[in-house]
Amino acid sequence: MKKIYFTEFDSGKWKIYLAASDKGVVKISYGASSKFDFFAWLEDKFPGYMFEKNDSRTSAYASNIKKYINGKIKKLDIPIDLQANGFTKKVLTKLKKVPYGKTVTYGELAAMAGNPRASRAAGTACSKNPIPLVIPCHRVIAAGGRIGKYGGGERLKRKLLENEGVLGLKD
């Protein structure tokens, strides 16, 4: 039977839920996300899989995420198993390449993914990002230097960007 391994841990700032396949991380939840939502997503994306709590299989991922959140590393270079398709997958693949300390607007991200007129669709793709932090949707801002929305909440987004040296964003 196929398995998805999961863990939950405290980053020092937030409770984080993480799941991984044999290929890499498939889901990270924190902030406003609940444990119930985390497992509901896994059950939807991986029907028929067995979910196993396995801290040893996920410890390297958890350790890197803790270091990133606490400002000890600048890049989360961990394997992922992205569960997305179509334009969403294009957007998230391009977003993964936005460097630490840099931001892009939703329109710029849409253009990077091949459809410059699809800024709303790029925003929707960001809202569906199953692997935040590794695929850094917090680095996407609204036009005019506004912070924009974030699944973990505006305060958390601002904190992540401030950790990266991005300051002065408008509400």
Residues classed as catalytic: 137
Q: How far apart are CA 143 and CA 160, in angstroms?
A: 19
Max Cα-Cα span within the chain: 50
**Amino acid at residue number 17:** Y
Burial class of residue 143 in the structure, from the number of CB atoms within 10 Å of its CB (0-12 exposed, 13-18 middle, 19+ buried): exposed
Residues forming beta bridges with residue 9, ordered by sequence position: 16
The secondary structure of 36-84 as a DSSP string is HHHHHHHHHHSTTPEEEE-HHHHHHHHHHHHHHHTTS-S-----B----
**Amino acid at residue number 66:** K
